[in-house]
Amino acid sequence: MTEAFTLVRDAPLAALNTLRVAAGARYLATLDDAYLVPQVLESPELRDLPLLVLGEGSNVLFAADFDGLVLRPAWRGVHIIDDDGTHATVRADAGYGWDALVDWTLAQQLAGLENLALLPGLVGAAPIQNIGAYGAEVREFVSGVEAWDRKQGQRVRLDPDACAFAYRDSVFKRDPDRWIVTAVEFRLPRAREPNLGYAGVREELEIMGFARPTPAQVAQAVRRLRRRKLPDPATLGNAGSFFKNPIVPAHRAEELRAADPGLPVYPAGDATRKLSAAWLIEACGWRGFREGDAGVSAQHALVLVNHGHATGAQLLALARRVADSVGQRFGVRLEPEPRIVGAEF
């Protein structure tokens, strides 16, 4: 144990995941310095253990205990490393809070991240998941990702192409045992046209009286929308959107919309379309469903909730039932957004 590194054996994790699922880890290491990562991973008692990097726990479902090492990044710095007057490059440590970063960039008169306001989690999770909301994805602004490459045993910097970003996906998510994100660089403009194309954003700004909104005002509108539509993890355990919006061939989307004209369909490339998972789930009657303490939010059908003491296995079983019913009715496969620990979906 040092001032920059603590290690706990048989650590409880219920307070470290937003679904509030009771689970444990053989070891929990909390690091205040990214340069300690290789030292921790090579220590004799930890070297051969499975590894799980855990930030705020807002995108994970523990279906079982984790018989390995949970590593928590607690290094938190942010600064501008380059500024040409029209764009600035911001470097943020993996342990910095995501929403705090949004506020920090807005305070520096930088635009770009406002549509991603109030998303839970830490900066390090942003490129892994390629987080997105209200018509924006973080890959639009990532200029580089610093990581510890466990395969090569060295620190590396990946450019956006090497990150291989896709919808809620990246090289980091596809190979989680290799990469530990330590910092992210963002190239942000000082002025840009606001992104108001997503349903509800422009209307919310009009209600607020902002005809020509600033980035900070867009962030304010997004926060109002999120608070109104989504349950607060501080009062009701949840991991936000539990399912990805499915992407299907364009012709299949048109067939589904012909049968159900209310189905929202969004562009997703020349030959594909994105469907609303929330709409599909609600159409199958799941919104507000509860069985014991495992349930589907009454506010938003895309959110699974823990009303108190649901186990990870119970929440996973419910998620599978939801996905199966959507598949049976619409012929569309739903995939989970959170990482599932201890089971396969």
Q: Which residues are catalytic?
A: 168, 241, 337
Q: Which residues are CB-contacts of 279 (< 8 A; sequence separation ≥ 6)?
A: 262, 263, 264, 301
3-class DSSP assignment, residue 30: strand
DSSP 29: E
Cβ partners under 8 Å of residue 242, min gap 6:
302, 303, 304, 319, 336, 337, 338
**3 state SS of 329:** helix
- Would you tell me how many other CB atoms lie within 10 Å of the CB of residue 97? 18
DSSP state of 245: P
- Least Cα distance to 184 among 158, 215, 165, 161 occurs for 158
CB atoms within 10 A of CB 5: 17
Per-residue tokens: 262: 């209310």
Reduced to 3 states (helix: H, G, I; strand: E, B; else coil), residue 151 is coil
Query: Which helix H or strand E contains 59, and what residues bound it?
Result: none
In terms of DSSP bridges, do strands 339-341 and 60-62 run parallel, antiparallel, or are they unpaired? Answer: parallel
- Block residue for tokens 């306001």: 117
The string of DSSP letters for 255-324 reads HHHHH-TT--EEE-SSSEEEE-HHHHHHHTT-TT-EETTEEE-SS-TTEEEE-SS--HHHHHHHHHHHHH
- Rounded to an integer, what distance in angstroms lies between the CA atom of residue 229 and that of residue 246? 20
Query: In terms of Cα–Cα distance, which of 7, 3, 12, 21 is closest to 319?
Result: 21
- How many whole angstroms separate alpha carbon 240 and alpha carbon 69? 25
